[in-house]
Structure 1
């Protein structure tokens, strides 16, 4: 006897009108979160905002970037509360209770802290790319400034062979390295800037 398969009746799909309604509701809830004054919110209220924004982020019902910025802003304010009030526990523990990974929460915060940079982006991936480019640029600039600073210090500390020899002898008599002796001399010189005096290194 041949068994016939029962045809499964497909579940009713959400109509386009219903999907639009869901999208509008999600957008409204995010707009409500964006207009809240979170600076006066307590930790429970901030937790509620973070959860709601994170849910919106995961549901893709609204702009992922906007949801991430709302969550990030609430997390930044919450972290400040933990910094000023040590008795309420640890920020990381609080975040873990929200059911959000540490990496995700810190990504939200980075986006919120760099809103002026990521606001030019239309999508979350564009925002993350802009942020990565900005960080790379900052690192390059810092490295360039560090090299320039080192060059300036080296140029300033260029000594004649006679002075170099004298420093080496004084350092040897004190039982220290020349670099440490120079540091001591500079420290004394900086401390006497208000009342300049000739520094005796002997």
Structure 2
């Protein structure tokens, strides 16, 4: 009788079809924290010498709902392939191709991508809780901060209650300093382009100190 029950259970397990599941798409409500929606055509910065850096829209990406394929595991049950992180990203490229990274001996090692980018990763992990993180980058500088369930900036960043960029005054601006002495790309130490950035979660990148021109570039309204 015992073996008959096991046989019935085994037959039942293998005869039942594993139903596919669903991987959710990016949580649309998180777009509230995206300072650059997909409709953004370009972002322009200017310094006090009237030099401009224009970043033109290049591409965007977003995770959409999709079928989560199932498969039979080694004990006869149903297993599912993991869902990817839910993601929104947008990239802008500047036509200024003069930016080349050098190692400390002055030897060209590679050409850095001339981009401004922003993305949100919607992390749904049991051990992490329901959380979403944002990454904002320009040239070789990158800032990461949490946007959900609440906004948490890097504790080492400096908060400015007001910051004047050109003719515009902004409130609650964060200053993120870049370690310009120990920037690594593989085994190389790189001379970076950006020393510090000014940003917040509502407007994105407001300004940055450009090492090449020794000036601050402000985002044009």
Q: Give 1 or 2: higher strand fraction.
A: 2
Q: Give 1 or 2: higher helix fraction.
A: 1
Q: Please tell me whether Structure 1 or Structure 2 has the larger radius of gyration of its CA atoms.
A: 1
TM-score range for the pair, normalised by the shorter chain length: under 0.3
Q: TM-score, normalised by structure 1?
A: 0.20
Higher RCO structure (Cα 8 Å, ≥6 apart) = 2
